[in-house]
Amino acid sequence: RWQVKVVGHEDTPMNLKEANLQVVTEEEFEEWLQAREAEQAEQAEQAEQEFQDDTIDVEELLTTRISGAGMTRPGLGTGGSITKAPGPNGNDFDIRMAETDSRAAARTAVQVLKERGVFTCEANAPYDVLMGAFEEGEQLWRSGSFAPTMQDMEASPLEQELWTRVLYQDETEAAWISEGLIATGRCDNLAILKDSMRSFAETLQADLQRQLGLTWSSAWEGMLAAYSGDKTYAFHLDNPQGPLETGLPDNGVRLTLCYFINPHWSPEAGYNGGGLDIFLTDPSSAPASASVIRRAHRLRVAPHADTLVAFLSDRMAHQVIETKGDEVWLCLWMWCVDEAAVSEFPTKMLERHGLT
pLDDT (0 to 100) of residue 162: 87
Q: Which three-class secondary structure state does DSSP give residue 90?
A: strand
Give the DSSP letter of residue 99.
G
Query: DSSP letters of 19-83?
Result: GG-----HHHHHHHHHHHHHHHHHHHHHHHHHHHHHHHHHHHHT-BTTBGGGGTSTTS-S---EE
Q: Where are the domains of the chain?
A: 3-51, 64-353
pLDDT (0 to 100) of residue 6: 59
pLDDT (0 to 100) of residue 39: 83
Distance of CA 83 to CAs 80, 119, 143, 296, Å?
A: 9, 14, 39, 10
pLDDT (0 to 100) of residue 158: 83
What amino acid occupies position 55?
T
Spatial separation of the C-alpha atoms in residues 90 and 122, rounded to whole Å: 10
Dihedral angle over CA of 41, 42, 43, 49, nearest 10: 110
Q: Which residues make Cβ contacts (< 8 Å) with residue 196, sequence separation at least 6?
A: 123, 125
Cβ count within 10 A of residue 256: 23
Q: Which CATH class is domain 64-353?
A: mainly beta
Query: DSSP letters of 109-122?
Result: HHHHHHHHSEEEEE
Encode the chain (356 residues) as per-residue pLDDT tens digits.
Answer: 556 665 555 566 666 677 777 788 888 888 888 888 888 777 766 655 554 544 434 555 555 444 544 444 444 445 678 988 999 999 999 999 999 998 999 999 999 999 999 999 999 999 999 999 999 999 999 999 999 999 988 888 888 888 998 999 999 999 999 999 999 999 999 999 999 999 999 999 999 999 999 999 999 999 999 999 999 998 899 999 887 655 689 999 999 999 999 999 999 988 999 999 999 999 999 888 888 888 899 999 999 999 999 999 999 999 999 999 999 999 999 999 999 999 999 888 888 766 66
What is this structure's pTM?
Answer: 0.81
| Contact between 319 and 276 (Cβ < 8 Å) | yes
pLDDT (0 to 100) of residue 356: 64
Spatial separation of the C-alpha atoms in residues 325 and 321, rounded to whole Å: 13
